[in-house]
Structure 1
Amino acid sequence: MALKSTIYKATLNISDLDRQHYAEYPLTLALHPSETETRMMIRLLAFAMFADEALSFTRGLCVDDEPDLWQHAPSGEIDLWIEVGLPSDKRLRKACSRAKRVVLLAYGSDQQFDPWFQGVRKTLMRLDNLDIYRIDDSACDTLTALAERQMRLQCTIQDGELWFTGEAGSAEVRPRPVSVV
């Protein structure tokens, strides 16, 4: 018998001063049995960074040809494809061929990130519609500490920095752009 996903409910109130976007989003996040809470919270971070009424979570880990989040244009084209983690260069090439813009939120220790990045760097240099952001370990840890089955989070974004506050505490995250050149 297959294990079922654990459901997390989040009310995310966003005040994005960089984009002048202010909204509250009731979100349902399914934590896949093979997924960590850290990865789930990075998906929530991605939603906060690019919040839009048309942005949605996908079926995630159980589907190979979908990102973690995406946003479709009214015509059905994929405007934004968001991946989290350290995906293969093949997956990123495929994403860049299907979407107008692809964003990767890379996280993990330096011992994980550095070899991955050196292995895919040549391929990534050719992908003009790919943006990569690195989330450091301490930010991952403080963000993961906010994870609860029922979350009410306030996220303020200014100058590319995100501040999350909730009943379980607070977290400050500054996604760093990664240059592939």
Structure 2
Amino acid sequence: MAIGATIHTFEIQLADVDRGVYDELSLRVARHPSETDRFMVTRLLAYCLEYEEGIAFSAGVSSTDEPAVLVRDLTGTITAWIEIGAPDADRLHYGSKLADRTAVYTHREPEKLLTAWAGKTIHEAERIVVRSFDAGFIDGIVGTLARRNTMTVSLTEGQLYVDCNGSSFASQVTEHSIV
């Protein structure tokens, strides 16, 4: 019998001072058995840091033609393609052609990703933003996870502050360029 997804709930107070976005989010996040906690936390943070009207998690690993997080306008057109982890160059190329904006949030070493993409054809690679976090930041949050979680996520001047279930963490959100 196949193991189903584990559902985590998050009550989040979001304060993205850099973009002027403030909201209270109540999210149910399904973690597929093949998905690591590090990937799930990065996916959740990407959702918060990209939060706008029309944002959604995709159907997950069963949806190979969509990113982990995407934004659709009122017509259903994908306007933002947001990848997590280490997507391959072909996937970035496809997403960049499809959406107005493409971003990658990674819990891996960004230099290795950039090296893997070097010399590959990626549509408008210069417009794709790759964001990473300080070493140990994601792992710290993972260590506090429960099935029901209370979080505050604050971003100001590129510095990310997260309080998860009473434990506090901070990281610079570093932007990398593919080109």
Task: Specify if TM > 0.5.
Answer: yes
- Alignment correspondent of 1:32: 32
- Identify which range, 114-123 or 152-161, moves more after superposition: 114-123
Who is 1:65 aligned against? 65
Distance 1:59 1:68 in 2: 8
Whether the 8 Å contact between 2:38 and 2:107 is mirrored in structure 1 is: no
Structure 2 alignment gaps of length 5 or more: none
Partner of 1:80: 80
- Alignment RMSD, CA only? 1.7
Partner Cα distance (2:60, 2:78) in 1: 16
Partner SS state of residue 122, structure 1: coil
**Is the 8 Å Cα contact of residues 145 and 168 (structure 1) preserved in structure 2?**
no
- TM-score, with length taken from structure 2: 0.91
Deviation, structure 1 residue 126:
4.4
For residue 137 of structure 1, give the secondary structure of its aligned residue in structure 2. coil
Conservation of the 8 A alpha-carbon contact between 1:125 and 1:180: no
Q: Which amino acid aligns with 1:20?
A: G
CA distance, structure 1, for counterparts of residue 123 and residue 74 of structure 2: 30
Shift of 1:172: 1.2
Q: SS in structure 1 opposite 2:93?
A: helix
Q: Distance in 2 between matches of 1:53 and 1:116?
A: 29
Report if the CA contact (8 A) 2:15-2:21 is conserved.
Answer: yes
Cα distance in 2, alignment partners of residues 8 and 164 from structure 1: 17
Tell me the matched-pair count. Answer: 178
Q: Could you list the runs of 4 or more consecutive aligned residues of structure 1 that deviate by over 4 angstroms after TM superposition?
A: none
- What percent of counterpart residues are identical? 26
**What is the CA–CA distance in structure 1 between the aligned matches of 2:33 and 2:89, rounded to whole Å?**
25
